[in-house]
A and B are shown apart, each in its own frame.
Chain A
Amino acid sequence: DTAVSQTPKYLVTQMGNDKSIKCEQNLGHDTMYWYKQDSKKFLKIMFSYNNKELIINETVPNRFSPKSPDKAHLNLHINSLELGDSAVYFCASSQIRADTEAFFGQGTRLTVV
């Protein structure tokens, strides 16, 4: 039973399209995150939701819009996709306490052509 699952695993799309990535966690955590991993494998936080409330928004273009319908789900919608959006996007969840580890999904590899 997967703890953090995200779909799809691969996404290939054309510039200008709109796409969504979905994430679900069954760990009972109160906080969910989106991280972006670039082509050099560098990982950076994009967003964080705690109990459905946005608490972190790290200077991400407003073409990216996260939505959390409930504590167990966090989706990422991307409008007007650009070549530079190509990356691996990871969903993660944890309790908001700083000493607890985050659990990661398998990642969504987005390729914009």
Chain B
Amino acid sequence: AQSVTQLGSHVSVSEGALVLLRCNYSSSVPPYLFWYVQYPNQGLQLLLKYTSAATLVKGINGFEAEFKKSETSFHLTKPSAHMSDAAEYFCAVSGKGGKLIFGQGTELSVKP
């Protein structure tokens, strides 16, 4: 069975600091991995996805993630946090029938 674990339910950074949100996956087949962002009272928006084309994936809003098979990880990073990055972030793996299996989510707070 496939699963995703996000380490840290809450991460707080200062504006301008590095953002690192951790995601580890478990999958018996080569995984397709996604990062979504959810702003308050809104739906989920795709940040980026890994589909085996390249291990370093660039997404929207300056985010990127690196797929590391040896570590079964797909951590999300951004070099410099903005106040507008404050949101809930979800890592997900694609399962049967196209369904997404989500991690528990990480709330990112950005301090001025």
Contacts and interface: CB of A to CB of B under 8 A. Distances in A.
Given A99-B94, A101-B34, A45 B43 contact: no
Given A106-B43, A107-B42, A99 B51 contact: yes
Contact of A44 (B42, B44, B98, B102): B102
A56 B43 CA distance: 21
A95 interface: yes
Contacts of A101: 34, 46, 49
A48 B105 CA distance: 22
Interface string B17-38: 0000000000000001010101
A95 B105 contact: no
Given A94-B98, A107-B43, A43 B32 contact: no
Nearest to B34: A101
A7 B50 CA distance: 31
| Residue from B43, B95, B99, B102 having most chain A Cβ neighbours under 10 A | B99
A31 B100 CA distance: 12
A33 B92 CA distance: 15
A52 to B, nearest CB: 14
Contacts, number: 70
Contact of A48 (B38, B42, B49, B98): B98
A98 interface: yes
A98 B104 contact: no
25 contacts: A31-B97, A40-B104, A41-B105, A42-B102, A42-B104, A42-B105, A43-B90, A45-B101, A48-B99, A50-B97, A50-B98, A56-B96, A56-B97, A92-B44, A92-B100, A98-B94, A98-B98, A99-B49, A99-B94, A100-B98, A101-B34, A102-B98, A102-B100, A104-B44, A104-B45
Interface of B: 32, 34, 36, 38, 41-46, 49, 51-52, 88, 90, 94-102, 104-105, 107
The 7 closest A-B pairs by CB, nearest first: A104-B43, A99-B51, A98-B94, A104-B44, A43-B102, A45-B99, A96-B98
